Amino acid sequence: MDGLRRDWVGPTKPASATDSDDEIDLLELLRTLWRGKLWLMLGLLAGVLLGGLYAYRLATPVYRANATVALENRQAQFVDLQNVMSGLSGDQATINTELEVLRSRSLMNRLTRELDLVNDPEFNASLQPAARFSVRALLEATGLRSPAAPPGEREIFESTVNRVRAAFDISNIRSSYVFNISATTTDPEKSAKLANALANLYINDQIDVKFEATAKATKWLTGRVATLKDELEKAEAAAKSFAAETRLVGPEALDALGRQIKETRERLDRIAADIEARRARVDSMARARASGDREAMRAATSDPALTSSAAADMTDGAFMARFGAALDRERRELARLAQQKAGLEESIKVMEANYDQQSKDLVKLEQLQREADATRLLYEYFLSRLKETSAQAGLQQADSRVLSEAALPGAPAAPKKNIILALSAVLGLIAGAGVVVLREMTHTGFRTAEDVEAQTGHTVLGQIPRVALRARRSVIDYLATNPTSAAAEAIRNLRTSLVLSNVDHPPQVVMVTSSLPGEGKTSTSIALAQNFVGMGKKVLLIEGDIRRRVFSEYFDFPSREGMLAVLSGKRSLKEAVQHAETLGADVLIGEKSHVNAADLFSSDRFRKLIEEARAAYDVVIIDTAPVLVVPDARIIAQSVDAVLFSVKWDATSRQQVNAALRQFETAGRSVTGIVLSLIDPKGMKRYGYGGNYGAYAAYGSKYYTG
pLDDT of residue 559: 78
Do the domain assignments include residue 550? Answer: yes
Residue 512 maps to a domain: yes
List all residues 6 or more positions away from 666 whose beta carbon is below 8 Å from its beta carbon: 634
Is there a single domain that holds both residue 438 and residue 456?
no
Determine the Cα–Cα distance for residues 359 and 339; give it in Å rounded to an integer.
30
The per-residue pLDDT for 20 is: 46
Domain count, the chain: 3
pLDDT at 514 over 70: yes
Question: How far apart, in whole angstroms, are the C-alpha atoms of residue 97 and residue 104?
Answer: 10
Query: Of the ranges 10-24, 167-181, 296-310, which one carries the lowest mean pLDDT score?
Result: 10-24
pLDDT tens-digit readout, 218-231: 889 889 889 988 98
| Segment 405-422, tens digit of pLDDT | 999 998 898 888 899 999
Q: How many CB atoms neighbour CB 149 within 10 A?
A: 7
Render pLDDT for 297-312 as a digit per residue (tens, 0 to 9): 877 787 777 777 666 6
Label residue 494 left, alpha or beta by phi (over 0 means left) and psi (-120 to 50 means alpha): alpha
Its pTM surpasses 0.75: no
Q: Which of 102, 95, 159, 84 is nearest to 126 (CA)?
A: 159
Question: Is residue 429 one of the residues assigned to a domain?
Answer: yes
590 closest CA partner among 547, 640, 534:
547
Residues 423, 494: one domain?
no
Q: How far apart are CA 536 and CA 178, in angstroms?
A: 97
Place 613 in a pLDDT band, splitting at 50, 70 and 90: very high
- Are residues 425 and 516 located together in one domain of the fold? no
Higher pLDDT: 687 or 273? It is 273
Q: Are 652 and 516 in contact (CB under 8 A)?
A: yes
Residue 444 — φ and ψ, nearest 5°? -115, 0
Percent of the chain with pLDDT over 90: 41
- Which pLDDT score, from 0 to 100, does residue 5 have? 34
Asked if 51 and 705 count as a contact pair (C-beta separation under 8 A), the reply is: no
Q: Residue 646 pairs with which residues in a beta bridge?
A: 514, 675
Beta bridge partners of 601: none
pLDDT at position 392 is 65
H-assigned helices in 546-680: 563-568, 573-576, 597-601, 604-616, 632-636, 654-666
Give the model's pLDDT for residue 537.
94
Residue 476 buriedness (CB in 10 A; 0-12 / 13-18 / 19+): buried
Band (480; pLDDT cuts 50, 70, 90):
confident
Chain segment 431-461, per-residue pLDDT in tens: 999 998 888 888 888 888 998 999 999 999 9
Q: Does residue 690 surpass a pLDDT of 60?
A: no
Confidence class for position 313, pLDDT limits 50, 70, 90: low
Confidence grade of residue 236 (pLDDT, cut at 50, 70, 90): confident
Classify burial at 51, counting beta carbons within 10 Å of its beta carbon; exposed 0-12, middle 13-18, buried 19 or more: buried
Mean pLDDT of the chain: 84
Q: Do 269 and 288 belong to one domain?
A: yes
Residue 663 lies in a domain: yes
What would you report as the CA-atom Rg of the chain, rounded to the nearest whole angstrom? 65
Q: How many angstroms separate the CA atoms of 213 and 184, rounded?
A: 34
Q: Are residues 675 and 535 in the same domain?
A: yes
Residue 608 and residue 546 in one domain: yes
Residue 1 pLDDT = 37
**What pLDDT, on the 0 to 100 scale, is given for residue 395?**
58
Average pLDDT of the segment spanning 611-617 = 95
Which is it for strands 460-465 and 539-543: parallel, antiparallel or unpaired?
Answer: unpaired
Q: Determine which of 389-393, 580-584, 641-645, 664-668 has the lowest per-residue pLDDT on average.
A: 389-393
Q: Which residue type sits at 204?
A: N
Q: Report how far residue 559's alpha carbon sits from residue 361's, in angstroms, rounded to the nearest whole number.
A: 155
Span 144-153, average pLDDT = 73
Burial of 109 (0-12, 13-18, 19+ CB in 10 A): middle
Query: What is d(CA 547, CA 121) in angstroms, rounded to the nearest whole number?
Result: 76
pLDDT classification of 215: cutoffs 50, 70, 90: confident
Q: pLDDT tens across 67-122, in order?
A: 999 988 655 444 444 554 455 666 888 889 999 999 999 999 999 999 999 999 99
Most confident of 9-23, 136-150, 654-668: 654-668
Is the backbone peptide bond immediately before 150 cis, with ω within 30 degrees of 0? Answer: no
* CA 411 vs CA 35, 62, 65, 182, 558: distances in Å: 43, 9, 10, 15, 86
- Host domain of residue 426: 27-41+49-58+415-442
3-state secondary structure of 642: strand
Does residue 2 carry a pLDDT above 70? Answer: no
CA–CA dist 599, 473 (Å, integer): 30
Judge if 526 and 651 occupy the same domain: yes
According to DSSP, the residues that pair with 643 across neighbouring strands are: 511
Which H or E run contains 34? Answer: helix 26-35
Are 428 and 260 spatial neighbours (Cβ–Cβ below 8 Å)? no
Reported confidence tier of residue 473, pLDDT bands at 50, 70, 90? confident
Model confidence pLDDT, tens digit, residues 127-136: 877 655 566 6
Query: Over 70: is that where the pLDDT of 678 sits?
Result: yes
How many whole angstroms separate alpha carbon 460 and alpha carbon 493?
Answer: 11
Instruction: Judge whether 203 lies within some domain.
Output: no
Do 120 and 193 meet the contact criterion of CB atoms below 8 Å apart? no
Axis-axis angle for helices 105-114, 153-166 (nearest 10): 110
- Over residues 393-409, the pLDDT tens digits come to 665 677 889 999 999 99
Q: Is residue 459 part of a domain?
A: yes
205 within a domain of the structure (yes/no): no
641 and 518 assigned to the same domain: yes
> Domain check: are 495 and 420 in the same one?
no
CATH number assigned to the domain comprising residue 574: 3.40.50.300
> Which is higher by pLDDT, 253 or 44?
44
Phi, psi at 578, each rounded to 5°: -130, 140
pLDDT-derived band at 6 (thresholds 50, 70, 90) equals very low
Looking at the structure, tell me whether residues 603 and 634 fall in a common domain.
yes
Rounded to whole angstroms, how far apart are CA atoms 311 and 301?
12
DSSP assignments along 284-312, one per residue:
HHHHHHHHT-HHHHHHH---HHHHSGGGG
Contact 461, 501 (CB under 8 A): yes
**8 Å CB contact between 551 and 473:** no
> Looking at the structure, do residues 428 and 495 belong to the same domain, yes or no?
no
Domain assignment of residue 298, yes or no: yes
Residue by residue, DSSP assigns 50-94 as HHHHIIIIISPPBEEEEEEEEE-S----SS----SSPPP--SHHH
pLDDT above 70 covers what percent of the chain?
Answer: 86
Within 200-318, strands assigned E span none
Same domain, 476 and 434: no
